[in-house]
Amino acid sequence: MADFWKDRRVMVTGGAGFLGSSVVRRLRDAGATEIFVPRSAQYDLRTHDGIARALADGRPDLVIHLAAVVGGIGANRENPGRFFYENAIMGIELMEQARNAGVSKFVGVGTVCSYPKFTPVPFHEDDLWGGYPEETNAPYGLAKKMLLVQGQAYREQYGFDAIHLLPVNLYGPGDNFDESSSHVIPALIKKCLDARDRGDDFIEVWGTGSASREFLYVDDAANGIVLAAERYDEGAPVNLGVGHEITIRDLVTLIARLSGFEGELRWDATKPDGQPRRALDTSRAREKFGFAAGTSFEEGLRRTIEWYTTTRANRHGRLPTDPLGKELLGRD
């Protein structure tokens, strides 16, 4: 749909981060030529003035809001207040100012963490309000969930075209491999490769291994976001995922095999498993804007391991060191 993007000015918050970089590439492939990525060194999107200047300089017709302060279970447990406040204030103020600036469409990208802890599997969008999120990441999940409420309220009162997408856990080349803030796949890849290279006999893994997760390759997620921006104009939230899950125990076994680590896997059951299960019903995305993930899980893992292996060897690429995920805010 190159005609959709022709002469359309797009602002992508977090556009220099893991998911954002992939979204910017996909936008260019789709025909977008006017893409503005506000970098946090110049535009602090947690402040009124930072957002105002970004909108004034970018003059967007469409905003894709990806910027977030994120992390794994450990980072969420250590920073619940900051994760709530910074994610909430950034999204709420950005949507309000975008509406006042005449932005024609706002694409809010939320999180699977917004779902209740014991959501029936597969998670359907209608189950989003069936309970409280899993405790370790509830502040983050609820902060992002408020953007759905805001978007629906603005659609009803002002006719503002705000949509809300719910991607499942992402992975892929360019992910955050910092030990203090990484999510499960990059954390396990690094752990296995480090242990292999040191000749360790075992690695220790958090939890029991019984929890399950669904994972979406980052380029597939970017494709879904761009398709939704082009084709979806309704207030109901939409899941982005692959539609099947894997237990953490099976995930660790697979990553160990692909990484070449042959030692023992030891489970620390004193550490939390997080939400018991995650797997999405992806039918709405398929029906509403034709999205289906195209990358097999094993192939996606191979590409991710290869990228990290090369990056680590060359000492190049993005290996964030900020435990609060500053690269997702678009910072260097």
Residues annotated as catalytic (active site), given as ranges: 140
Closest C-alpha among 170, 196, 169, 206 to residue 312:
196
Closest C-alpha among 118, 117, 115, 97 to residue 106:
97
- Joined together, the tokens standing for residue 12 give 């992508």
Task: Tell me phi and psi for residue 29, to 5 degrees.
Answer: -60, -30
